[in-house]
Amino acid sequence: MKMFDAPIAGANYAADTRNYPWHRPPDIVDYDEGVDYLITKMKEPEQLELVFSLLEIDAQVTTVVSSLLMQGISRGKFSIDLAVLMAGPVARYISIIADEQDIKYDMGVGEKDRVSITPTSLKMALGIYDEEETLEVLEEAPVMAIPEGGLMGAPAEDESASEDEQAAMLGMVEEEEPTDELA
């Protein structure tokens, strides 16, 4: 690495943060105005082609919406909080225009906790086992003795520290007398 290739220490404290759009107040602060802005923006031919292309390559609607919202946030159009609120209506609008164009899409908000029912799981739930499928019985692991001594081992019962050692560990030692060796 070159000697002067790194940023100056503390430069971020002296930099003008107004250089970035997201550091200034957003252009749109009203919910309805923000949703109208995004819907109007998506009606533009280039933006509409982009949305349809993303949906046709099996991108989830949530991915498309988050990319549109991140674009608006990075340009300083609206705040992150307003973007979170606008995500639902924008996703619904995208699903409506995709339905009009007969484009199949995945919303991306499926039931993640749902257990899918497969033939194997159904057989197991009903207690049906094929003759070919034999269940292996696992042997219990032997119980190992707890090692004593050593750094991580449990101390033996007779290995406790003396009262003087315990007092020294707790910082309760007698004050030492200064010596004249250094004088």
Domain-located, residue 129 = no
Domain-located, residue 135 = no
Which tokens in the block code for residue 18? 């107004």
Look at the chain and report how many structural domains it folds into.
Answer: 1
For the whole prediction, is pTM greater than 0.75? no
Q: Quick one: which of 24, 114, 37 has its CA closest to 68?
A: 37
Domain-located, residue 176 = no
Give the tens place of pLDDT for each residue, 8-26: 777 767 777 667 787 788 9
Domain-located, residue 123 = no
Residues 6+ apart with CB under 8 A from 94: 42, 51, 55, 61, 64, 65, 105
| CA gap 73, 27 in Å, rounded | 10
154, β-bridge pairs: 148
Q: What is the pLDDT of residue 2?
A: 62
Domain-located, residue 56 = yes
Q: What is the pLDDT of residue 108?
A: 82
Give the tens place of pLDDT for each residue, 33-92: 999 999 999 999 999 999 999 999 989 999 999 999 999 999 999 999 999 999 999 999
Give the tens place of pLDDT for each residue, 132-179: 555 556 677 788 777 666 777 766 677 777 888 888 888 776 665 656
Q: Quick one: which of 30, 56, 102, 21 has its CA closest to 38?
A: 30
136, β-bridge pairs: none
Considering only residues 2 and 183, tell me which one the structure prediction assigns the higher pLDDT: 2
Cα-flanking dihedrals φ and ψ of residue 148, to 5°? -110, 150
**How far is the first Cα of the chain from the last one, in angstroms, to the nearest whole number?**
50
Which tokens in the block code for residue 2? 């070159």
Q: Is the pLDDT of residue 110 over 90?
A: no
Domain-located, residue 58 = yes
Domain-located, residue 83 = yes
Q: Domain range holding 63?
A: 14-100
Domain-located, residue 78 = yes
